[in-house]
Amino acid sequence: MSSLPQVRHRVVDTNGIRMHVAEQGEGPLVVLCHGFPESWYSWRHQITALADAGFHVVAPDQRGYGQTDRPATIDKYSMLHLTGDIVGLLDVLGEQTAVIVGHDWGAPVAWNCALMRPDRFRAVGGMSVPYFPRGPISMTTAMRQAAGEDFYIIYFQEPGKAEAQLERDVRATMLNVLYAASGDAKGADRWQPVIPRNQGVLASVGAPATLPAWLTTEDLDFYTAEFQRTGFTGGLNWYRAIDLTWELMAAYNGAKIAQPSLFIAGGEDGVLGFPGMNLILAGLPQNLPGLRNSLIIDGAGHWVQQERPEQVNAALIEFLRAL
């Protein structure tokens, strides 16, 4: 954290857990929600830029991550818990409304905060994972039908299996995952969402000869230390609760998000190649009637706000200032 001296850190009580947040700036509140396997630190390039642009920026370690509590049971990781944590965070901060932005798993948190509490979240941005309404069949059923038993999210369902592989050498895991899903990885090095049969979760990522330009030794050290301390179970439990979330959110079947919205992704993001994703992207204007911009950044991969911070920051500031 030494390279971000202006960023303040504290732990707050929200929704029955202790949550660590990083924050900077004063003005309208912007909450930044990270993905897997990340932390508040994923927003290191955005926090100060948005604060300097006149916003109060808060980036939590979400439930299961970093210095935030990690409940032991899978049923504590439903989307109702995850969005409840953020609503509670607004209460602690004394703010009635916020703009919420999420990346990767943080994107569904952001989309669902906006969907369920339009009175609290006045605008929403999602990166990598576009909004799509709840459908008629469970998430794992849909994934099995579309991509089979070897799709990584199905692989993650069995407690302990992915952890054993990811935690064997945390530094190598973080380096290879960050590299393989980025726009720098080419050919066989690129992350594949379908795990090679009987080879394990890390068989689908390549290893770089040198660090990509957007990832420093200090960055890798930070991620490594966090996951060496916490393990990966908290983050993996988000995947394991997806069918519970689907059950609990039946009332939102087919629901749209009306607030002003923004979508950003890297052109080389493997998520954009998921089965059925072309239909989801084509349906964005219908499901997000307030969509202001859908920005695909050429050459960037999955970690778009880390790989292309200048372009992402410019798009975020333009969106925020126009509200």
Within a 13 Å sphere around the CA of 62, how many CA atoms are in the beta-carbon half? 36
* DSSP 8-state code for residue 321: H
CATH of domain 8-321: 3.40.50.1820
pLDDT at 1 over 80: no
Distance between CA atoms of residues 32 and 99, nearest Å: 9
pLDDT-derived band at 198, boundaries 50, 70, 90: confident
Q: CA torsion angle for 231, 73, 131, 288 (degrees, to 10)? A: -130
Segment 128-158, tens digit of pLDDT = 999 999 999 999 999 999 999 999 999 999 9
Predicted confidence at residue 27, as pLDDT, reads: 98
Instruction: Dump the DSSP string for 241-277.
Output: THHHHHHHTGGGBT----S-EEEEEETT-GGGGSTTH
Peptide bond into 37 cis (omega under 30): yes
pLDDT at 197 over 90: no
Segment 83-106, tens digit of pLDDT = 999 999 999 999 999 999 999 999
Predicted confidence at residue 9, as pLDDT, reads: 98
pLDDT at 2 over 70: no
Among the listed residues 85, 104, 184, 269, the single catalytic one is 104
Give residues with Cβ within 8 angstroms of 234, minimum separation 6.
Answer: 63, 64, 65, 70, 71, 77
Whether 176 and 207 have beta carbons less than 8 Å apart is answered as: yes
Predicted confidence at residue 196, as pLDDT, reads: 87
pLDDT at 172 over 90: yes
Q: Alpha carbon of 113 to those of 45, 122, 223: distances in Å?
A: 23, 10, 26
Segment 269-315, tens digit of pLDDT = 999 999 999 999 999 999 999 999 999 999 999 999 999 999 999 99
Predicted confidence at residue 193, as pLDDT, reads: 94
Segment 229-277, tens digit of pLDDT = 999 999 999 999 999 999 999 999 999 999 999 999 999 999 999 999 9
Distance between CA atoms of residues 292 and 236, nearest Å: 32
Tokens 């990966």 correspond to what residue? 232
Predicted confidence at residue 204, as pLDDT, reads: 79
pLDDT-derived band at 76, boundaries 50, 70, 90: very high
Residue in 64, 63, 57 with CA at minimum distance from that of residue 82? 63
Predicted confidence at residue 206, as pLDDT, reads: 84
Predicted confidence at residue 228, as pLDDT, reads: 98
Distance between CA atoms of residues 183 and 134, nearest Å: 30
Distance between CA atoms of residues 117 and 131, nearest Å: 16
Predicted confidence at residue 203, as pLDDT, reads: 87
Q: What is the mean pLDDT of residues 6-19?
A: 98
Distance between CA atoms of residues 321 and 284, nearest Å: 22
- Round the average pLDDT of the chain to a whole number and report it: 96
104 is catalytic: yes
pTM of the model: 0.98
20 is catalytic: no
Q: Alpha carbon of 53 to those of 29, 30, 124: distances in Å?
A: 12, 11, 18
Strand partners, 119: none
